[in-house]
Copies of this chain bind each other. A is one copy, B any other.
Amino acid sequence: MKTANISVLAYALLGLIHQKPSSGYDLRKTFTETALGSFSDSPGAIYPALGRLEKRGLIASTVEDSAGLRRRRIYQLTDAGDQALKQWLSQPVTRNEIVRGLDELMLRFAFMDRALGPDAAIVFLRDMGSELDGYVPELKQYLRDLGPSMPLSAMLALDSGVRNYQTLQHWAVYAIQAFEKSAANKNNSPIKPARSGGHS
């Protein structure tokens, strides 16, 4: 079972297709129009990536000729694709990922509750939080030690990084609360069914 090289762009495509089967054009538009992590909206990136994913059996396409428009090739996840996406999302939060590749981390998080459910998202947030609890003090120490010997703008650039991580730390706490509140609201949901008991 080779869990071979799948690029971040490819995972982003898998995640979006998981949320809703889409054409290449739809996906491009998503990248241009939404604030989604700054991916290239260029056809030269997306269509080949979709082709590769299909060749690997992670997505499957059907040509839609129903509407009057030009034929659209709609992709959806295969079982293997769903599995690959979930495996990617299930990876633990590592220090290394926090240091480089925060973007990828947030991308994973953005897809998380839909694909794995809110519990997984909370685990992710807790892991990230405790990783940050270790990392932020180290960064601050580093800044205190080496800052004075650096050019002022270099020191400030580093300071900006530290502030970002601190912000992220606070955000993680907030996000956990948001998930807990959302879970609480679901229990006595005012709109949903009168269908007697859920479970337990």
Contacts and interface: CB of A to CB of B under 8 A. Distances in A.
Most buried by B among A99, A160, A178: A160
Contact of A154 (B110, B151, B182): B110
A102 to B, nearest CB: 9
Contact of A152 (B100, B156, B167, B182): B182
Contact of A111 (B101, B114, B153, B160): B153
Interface residues of A, number: 39
A106 interface: yes
Interface of A: 19, 35, 38, 99-101, 106-107, 109-114, 118, 121, 139, 142, 151-154, 156-161, 163-164, 166-168, 170-171, 175, 178-179, 182
A122 to B, nearest CB: 10
Contacts of A142: 35
B38 A101 contact: yes
A114 B150 CA distance: 10
Nearest to A156: B175
Contacts of A179: 152
A166 B170 CA distance: 13
Contacts of A157: 106-107, 109-110
